[in-house]
Structure 1
Amino acid sequence: MTPAAGTASARTKQTAPAKGAGPLLRAWREQRRISQLELALRADSSARHISFVETGRSRPSEEFLLRIADHLEIPVRERNALFLAAGYAPHYPETPLDELSTLREGLEQLLQGYEPYPALIVDATYNVVAANRGIAMLMDGLGEEVLTAPLNAMRLTLHPRGLAPRIRNLAEWRGHLLHQMERQIALHRSDALRELYEEVAAYPVENPGESAVDNSPVAYVALPLQLDHDGRTLSFISSISTFNTPMDVTVAELAVETLLPADPATVKYLQSLLP
């Protein structure tokens, strides 16, 4: 799950690359477990040319870099690093969200329209960019140490002074979140994300909870988040949305998380909060 309002800019630190685009391309290709021949076939190139680029014998064109980056599914921020290593200007701008007024207004309307159900927006390192009143309601009473800026969804959820003690199926939900972060680290190679993972994975787990699925009469369609709140247990299913074909680093790293009520009791309680 994830938490409430505030603003924070994500600047994922990257390990300094070796000189030239070749070593970076080779690292991404090997990480994706694709051979030079397979990549050449996908990208309408030749294994010989890809080999020459990776070893520094040929300088790749900008068009070639874009095509290869698409086939290797290289994140937008890392594509800029690839262009810089090849001696080109960054291909994608990185515009502060406050300057993307139309997008920001649309996202805020989306969050408000989802009320009373919880929803929020996070950046590449799970810092909370915006959240609605449904999220604020769930955060009521959390410790000050997790509410200091920048608010971070993973800290808010897994910290012992955050939501963790209220999560009835903490072992399952914690495992789900850590696995999600592991997948993102493999995709993005972000030092900042790895540091966050190591921090939250080291939090003590005082009460791991029981299996929500095994102890509920509800037939869940996905792993639910079961959360104690105000003397009742609320159940949610999480959905995460990102932008298709982003052309800006900031936009590429935004994710909208919505918490859909997973049972009739949760629906009834949340709707009772409407004015």
Structure 2
Amino acid sequence: MGQVAVREESFGELLRSWRQRRRVSQLDLGIEAEVSARHISFLETGRARPSREMVLKLTEELGVPLRHRNRLLMAAGFAPVYPEREVRAPEMRVVREALDKILAGHEPYPAVVVDAAWNLVAANAAAAMFMEGVPVELLREPINVLRLSLHPDAMGGRLLNLAEVRAHLLYQLRRQAEASGDGRLAELHDELAAYTYPGVDLNVAHAPGPADILVSLRIAAGDRVLSMFTTIATFGTPVDVTVSELAIEAFWPSDEETAAALRHSG
């Protein structure tokens, strides 16, 4: 049997998709881009062809990720603008050095660097605690941090407040998939949502109390309970696809007992 050709979406179709994903009307987008709503309509239907500058302006106004901005440029007949380099490329030395300093400086607390699909790019020594006792199949490249967090044979089996952490992570992942248009994230969401945990009621989650500030991960560690929250940091003003998709997730102790335990283990 012959192969079935897959039709590439036109620039107009891609523009409409991103505009609708951002819940922006043609009028509002036209005002921000300083063109008429009629012109936006013509671009979406293919009755008008955008200039390179117009593609860049529209994608900037819509907050389109750099990877997809390149796709819209190519659909409009232009070469990609934003390069995509490997993290280990010589040109990325300053980025690697910044990541290494941040990871090392966060010890003895765990910190990891992930890409757009939540695959592990780098980690400090303290992050090894998340991989202790994890089956080898979950540690094969690429190692996915969210999969490690919720898999019943990994952290999912050690989280004492699994229901609330799971609900929070799945909600954030779903929102990220919708905002980014990344099908990998939608597939990852469905995979994680299908995990089962015998004996665990996923509908019972801790209701935030007056003293609560953040959702903490309460992790069973032998006869101790480690309580941590996380922060996410990204690079400012990136113009490289790879750099724009990197995120640093740092874990912080929620109480002095956890801080002492992590300092002692470090």
TM-score by length of 1: 0.88
Structure 2 match to 1:138: 130
Q: For this pair of structures, how many residues does the alignment match?
A: 257
The answer to whether 1:260 aligns with 2:252 is yes
The answer to whether 1:18 aligns with 2:18 is no
Q: How far off is 1:136 after superposition?
A: 0.3
Identity of aligned residues (%): 45
Change (3 A) 1:213 1:270: farther
User: What's the secondary structure of 2:88's corresponding residue?
Assistant: helix
User: What's the secondary structure of 1:223's corresponding residue?
Assistant: coil
Higher relative contact order structure (alpha carbons within 8 Å, sequence separation ≥ 6): 1
Q: How far off is 1:145 after superposition?
A: 2.2
Q: How far off is 1:129 after superposition?
A: 0.3
> Unaligned regions of 5+ residues in structure 2, if any?
1-5
Listed as ranges, the matches of 1:201-240 within 5 Å are: 201-206=193-198, 207-208=200-201, 211=205, 219-240=211-232
After superposition, give the CA deviation of every residue in 1:149-208 in whole Å (9 maximum; x if it has no partner): 211111111111111110000000011111111011111111222111111111112225
- RMSD, aligned CA: 1.8
Q: Aligned match of 1:70 in 60, 65, 83?
A: 60
Structure 1 match to 2:3: none
CA contact (8 A) 1:117 1:270 kept: yes
Q: How far off is 1:230 after superposition?
A: 2.7
Letter in 1 for 2:135: G
TM-score by length of 2: 0.91
The answer to whether 1:37 aligns with 2:27 is yes
Letter in 2 for 1:229: A
Q: How far off is 1:75 after superposition?
A: 0.8
> Unaligned regions of 5+ residues in structure 1, if any?
1-14
Structure 2 match to 1:11: none
Output the CA distance in 1 between the equivalents of 2:88 and 2:7: 29
After superposition, give the CA deviation of every residue in 1:37-80 in whole Å (9 maximum; x if it has no partner): 11111111111211111111111111111111111111111101
Structure 2 match to 1:196: 188
List, as ranges, runs of 4+ consecutive aligned residues in structure 1 with deviation greater than 3 Å.
208-214
CA contact (8 A) 2:174 2:185 kept: no
CA contact (8 A) 1:212 1:224 kept: no
